[in-house]
Amino acid sequence: MRLADVGKTYANGVLALDGVSLAVASGEFVSLLGPSGCGKSTILRLVAGLSPPSAGTVELGATPGEADALRREISFVFQEPTLMPWATVAANVLMPLRVRRVPRREAEDRVAEALALVGLDGFAKSYPRELSGGMKMRVSIARALVIRPRLLLLDEPFAALDEITRFRLNDDLVRLWRQFGWTVLFVTHSVFESVYLSSRVLVMSPRPGRVVQDIAVPDAARNEAWRMGPEYNALCREVSLALHAAMGDRA
Amino acid sequence: MRRTVVLSVLVPVGVLALTVLAWHLYVTIGDVETFILPAPDLVIRTLWNDWSTLGPALWVTLKLTFSALALAVVGGVALAVLMAQSRWIELALYPYAVILQVTPVVALAPIVVTRIPDTQTALLVLAFVVAFFPILTNTAQGLKSVDHNLRDLFQLHGAGRLQRLWYLEAPSALPYFLTGLRIAGGIALIAAVVAEFAAGSSGAGSGLAFRLFEAQYRLNSPRVFAALLLLAATGVAIFAATSLVSAWALRHWHESAVPRDR
Ligand SMILES: Nc1ncnc2c1ncn2[C@@H]1O[C@H](COP(=O)(O)OP(=O)(O)OP(=O)(O)O)[C@@H](O)[C@H]1O
Ligand SMILES: [Mg+2]
């Protein structure tokens, strides 16, 4: 997946992105880190094909045929849970499969599996209004995972969660990423989270956003020990400095 | 909780009892002529005694109102869905819906009645025209008010037009449609009465409105009030029924139908 010199101007004249170039290889876990309003969500929308770039090109896969195939295997977790309030948790998660006409039996099994993955087994029959903010977000994540996507776009999915749940879901996400070989583009505000999860961290400048730093994270086992170790801390410092530099502060 | 339920019955019933009592006292103490205002018990007795005339008339009016409402639901929803498919269809059709709406039934009635030989059919057309509009506009508004992020999500997953309509737009529009239905229920009855009056239909198959004006003409005041009472009761019943349908259909999720947890 490649963005080449992409610009985005919204209808009201706001220049959100200017000359963004980035590439994500198949199987990579890439984090986008930047200040609020720098255009991170906008990048995800461009990649998903939900809005067209005003300049430059967005390419998926190596060939146009591959791009079409890949388009059907993208999942997007929005910044807000975006659940259908009239549908139960199970029906919300079932939606992508229903639209794809997956046979009922199989679909129900996969919904149960996805809900178990985010720790919501007991809530299949609840309605979104009966859930906490973090639980709604987890439903939204389950809905993204249920199609077993090849490309997963995550827009600050854990921002509304407490530290403990967040760590747990971080570990789950890394595990699943390794297991299924997804390509992940992950937006976050958190330096620590981005380093812990990613194989690469892209640091963005304030609006109009562009990628100003590209920091690779070595492939290490992600666990508590690593989180406490010197490599993780050094990386966090590096990313943090890059972020401050991008924002024009003195470090 | 229990107390609120009991009170929510007691309060309106109590106020009703007081109103009737005041009415009764006013008529008896003030020595008001029956011709001006009949006493409440006289109205009730007239309702009972004249049931052979009023009962069938009520039935005619009810049939008319509910047929018009049913047609309005089918037609209004169908047209709203059609208009939601394309802006061009909307632009082409919406002006006619508005024209039909802003033309008063009273003005329309003589024209329609003289063109359509069967009076009941003519009345049905008139009541339909009036009831149709709130259902159309509300449903159309609802179909347009789908959350944009949900729309994006459906697009991302490659949902077709019918899937979008069924899984996304229809449920989003449901609360709006039900609001339209509540409004339409009330004005379908009003339209049925106005149309009947304006059409001046006579003889067989006459509804409550006709009986009311007939009684007025004959200075049969108790019967006028009895007919009025029936009309009011019908209106209240329609309102209660549509409100119940609405609350039931939205009971799981919509703010209007879900109790606020504290
Ligand atoms: N639909 C829109 N119309 C006009 N301007 C928009 C729209 N969406 C976003 N913007 C503008 O584009 C810029 C980038 O928005 P975007 O949502 O991509 O930021 P973000 O990096 O995701 O921020 P946050 O971290 O707060 O979510 C913002 O300055 C915003 O004002
Ligand atoms: Mg954002």
CA nearest neighbour of A128 among B248, B146, B252, B155: B252
Q: What's the CA gap between B144 and B156, in Å, rounded?
A: 19
Can the peptide bond before residue B117 be classed as cis, meaning omega within 30 degrees of 0?
no
Domain span holding position B224 = 38-249
Write the Ramachandran bin of A138: left for phi over 0, alpha for psi from -120 to 50, otherwise beta: alpha
Q: Which ligand is nearest to the CA of A12?
A: 1
Do residues B207 and B83 both lie within one domain?
yes
* Residue whose structure tokens are 């330096």: A191
A129 touches chain B (CB under 8 A): yes
Tell me: do B172 and B76 sit in the same domain.
yes
Residue A70: per-residue pLDDT: 87
* Residues B137 and B211 reside in one and the same domain: yes
pLDDT in tens, B117-150: 888 888 899 899 989 999 999 999 999 999 999 9
Q: Are residues B123 and B79 in the same domain?
A: yes
Q: Which residues of A touch B166 (CB under 8 A)?
A: none
Instruction: Answer whether residue B111 is part of any domain.
Output: yes
Residue A250 has pLDDT above 50, yes or no: no
Q: What is the pLDDT of residue A172?
A: 86
Region A23-41: what's the mean pLDDT? 92
Count of the separate structural domains present in chain B: 2
Q: What is the pLDDT of residue A251?
A: 41
Q: Are residues B18 and B54 in the same domain?
A: no
Is B9 among the domain residues?
yes
Same domain, B94 and B175: yes
Ligand with smallest separation from the Cα of A14: 1
Answer whether residue B217 is part of any domain.
yes
Average pLDDT, chain A: 90
| B130: nearest Cα among B89, B83, B189 | B189
Asked if B84 and B9 sit in the same domain, the reply is no
Q: Where are the alpha helices (DSSP H) in chain B?
A: 2-29, 40-49, 51-85, 87-102, 105-115, 119-144, 148-156, 161-164, 170-199, 208-217, 221-249
The CATH code of the domain that includes B160 is 1.10.3720.10
State which residue of chain A sits closest to B162, comparing Cα positions.
A99
Question: Is the pLDDT score of A69 beyond 80?
Answer: yes
Please check whether residues B96 and B146 belong to one and the same domain. yes
Say if residues A200 and A214 touch (Cβ distance below 8 Å): yes
Residue B148 shares a structural domain with residue B213: yes
pLDDT in tens, A117-140: 888 999 999 999 999 888 999 999
Helix (H) or strand (E) holding A48: helix A40-48
How far B150 CA sits from the closest chain A CA (Å)?
6
- Same domain? For B143 and B212 the reply is yes
Instruction: Using CB atoms, pick whichever of A75, A82, A96 lies closest to residue B150.
Output: A82
Of A199 and A67, the structure prediction assigns the larger pLDDT to: A199
Task: Give the position of tokens 């899937």.
Answer: B163
Structure token digits, residue A83: 């659940």
B58 shares a domain with B28: no
Nearest CB to A86; choose among B155, B159, B171? B171
In a domain, B165, yes or no: yes
Rounded to an integer, what distance in angstroms lies between the CA atom of residue A242 and that of residue A97? 41
Evaluate: CB of A229 within 6 angstroms of ligand 1. no
User: What are the tens digits of pLDDT across the range A129-180?
Assistant: 999 888 999 999 999 999 999 999 999 998 878 888 888 888 888 988 988 8
Residue-wise over A109-134: b if at least 16 C-beta within 10 A, else e?
Answer: ebbbebbebbebeebbeebbebbeeb
Q: Is residue B255 part of a domain?
A: no
Cβ separation A76–B153 shorter than 8 A: yes
Task: Give the per-residue pLDDT at A117.
Answer: 87
**Residue B254 domain-assigned?**
no
In short, whether A13's Cβ falls inside 6 Å of ligand 1 is no
- pLDDT tens by residue, chain B, 262 residues: 678 888 888 998 999 999 999 999 999 998 888 888 999 999 999 999 999 999 999 999 999 999 999 999 999 999 999 999 888 988 998 888 888 888 888 888 888 888 888 888 888 998 999 899 999 999 999 999 999 999 999 999 999 999 999 999 999 999 999 999 999 999 999 988 888 887 765 545 688 888 888 888 888 999 999 999 999 999 999 999 999 999 999 998 888 888 877 7
Flag whether pLDDT at A47 surpasses 50.
yes
Distance CA A101, CA A114 (A): 18
Burial class of residue B244, CB neighbours in 10 A (0-12, 13-18, 19+): exposed
| Ligand 1 neighbourhood includes A37 CB (under 6 angstroms) | yes
The structural domains of chain A, ordered by start, are 2-73+150-250 (3.40.50.300), 82-148 (no CATH)
- What's the confidence (pLDDT) of residue B51? 93
Is residue B14 located within the same domain as residue B115? no
A45 lines ligand 1 (CB under 6 A): no
Output the CA A122–ligand 2 centroid distance in Å.
Answer: 30
Give A219-242 pLDDT, tens digit per residue.
Answer: 877 888 888 888 888 888 988 888
| B175 belongs to a structural domain | yes
Q: Is residue B260 part of a domain?
A: no
- Locus of tokens 């996969």: A110
Of the candidates A164, A186, A112, which has an alpha carbon nearest to the alpha carbon of residue A142? A112
